[in-house]
C-alpha cells in the first residue's frame, strides 16, 4: 500500500527574491496551506487535494512573496472568488490532482509577479525541448517538519514512468496523468506544504519556463526510489481565461 503524503522541498536552497514570480502562497485564515502558480491576471493553478471541497471561505493567495516572515514591497494579496476542483479528481489515488482558483480581483504583473507559461497540449511537452526542471515551495524539509520561511528551490530530474512504476518504486501507481521527478537516490524532493506548487521546466527554444507538473503526492519525502509525483500539466486543458 502506498502511503501518500502532501509534499514539501527537501534538499533545496533558498531562492533569490523575485526568482520565481509566479509562485504563490495559498492561505486559509492567513495560514499557508499550499503553493500555487499564477497563470493569468485572474487565475492560479494548484492541487485539488489542498481543499476538502469547493468552499472558498477565508481563502486568499499571496503573490510576489519570497520570505513568509517579512512581506516585501512587491507583495499582492487577493481573496479567492471560486475554487474549481477537477471534476475527475480522485482522493483515493490522486488522479487529476489539479484545481483552479479564480481571484476576486486581478493581479498586477510586476517584476515580482508574473504568469508561468502553460502548454497547450501533449505535443508541446515533446517539442519545447525542456533542459532543466525545478521545484519550489515553502514546505518543510522533513515529514511532519516546520515550513520554511524563505522560498526553497531545487533542481530535479524527470524520471521515466516505466522506471517509476517498477515494483521497488511505485509499483504501477503512476498513470498517464502523472509525472515522477526527483532522483533515484532520493535526497531532493517536494514535501508537506509544497503541494499545488509548480514543477517548472525551462525551454531552451522559447527561453522561458513552463508549468510541467503540479506538486501532488509521494511516499514520505526524499526517499530513494520514491520521487515526488506531479500532475502532468500537458494533460490538463487549462485555458488561462477559463475553467478546467
Residues assigned a catalytic role: 49, 97, 195
Q: Which residues pair with 31 in a beta bridge?
A: 28
Distance from the Cα of residue 226 to its chain's centroid: 18
R_g over Cα of the chain:
16
| Residue that has been written with the C-alpha cell 532520493 in this structure | 186
Contact present, 145 and 190 (Cβ < 8 Å): no
Alpha helices in 14-132 (DSSP H): 122-127
3-class secondary structure, 49:
helix
Contact present, 117 and 179 (Cβ < 8 Å): no
Amino acid at each position: 500500500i502506498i502511503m501518500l503524503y502532501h509534499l514539501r522541498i527537501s534538499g533545496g536552497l533558498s531562492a533569490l527574491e523575485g526568482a520565481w514570480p509566479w509562485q504563490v502562497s495559498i492561505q486559509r485564515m492567513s495560514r499557508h496551506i499550499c503553493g500555487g502558480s499564477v497563470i493569468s491576471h485572474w487565475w492560479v493553478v494548484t492541487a485539488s487535494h489542498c481543499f476538502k471541497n469547493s468552499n472558498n471561505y477565508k481563502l486568499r493567495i499571496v503573490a510576489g512573496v519570497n520570505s513568509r516572515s517579512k512581506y516585501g514591497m512587491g507583495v499582492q494579496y487577493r481573496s479567492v472568488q471560486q475554487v474549481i476542483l477537477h471534476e475527475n479528481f480522485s482522493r483515493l489515488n490522486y488522479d487529476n490532482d489539479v484545481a483552479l482558483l479564480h481571484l476576486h480581483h486581478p493581479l498586477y504583473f510586476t517584476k515580482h509577479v508574473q504568469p508561468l507559461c502553460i502548454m497547450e497540449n501533449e505535443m508541446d511537452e515533446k517539442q519545447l525541448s525542456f533542459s532543466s526542471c525545478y521545484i519550489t515551495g515553502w514546505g518543510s524539509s522533513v515529514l511532519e517538519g516546520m515550513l520554511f520561511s524563505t522560498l526553497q528551490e531545487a533542481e530535479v530530474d524527470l524520471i521515466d514512468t516505466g522506471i517509476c512504476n517498477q515494483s521497488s518504486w511505485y509499483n504501477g501507481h503512476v498513470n498517464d496523468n502523472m509525472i515522477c521527478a526527483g532522483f533515484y537516490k532520493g535526497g531532493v524532493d517536494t514535501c508537506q506544504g509544497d503541494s499545488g506548487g509548480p514543477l517548472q521546466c525551462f525551454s531552451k527554444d522559447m527561453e522561458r519556463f513552463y508549468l510541467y507538473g503540479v506538486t501532488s503526492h509521494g511516499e514520505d519525502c526524499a526517499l530513494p526510489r520514491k520521487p515526488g509525483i506531479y500532475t502532468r500539466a500537458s494533460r490538463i486543458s487549462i485555458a488561462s481565461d477559463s475553467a478546467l
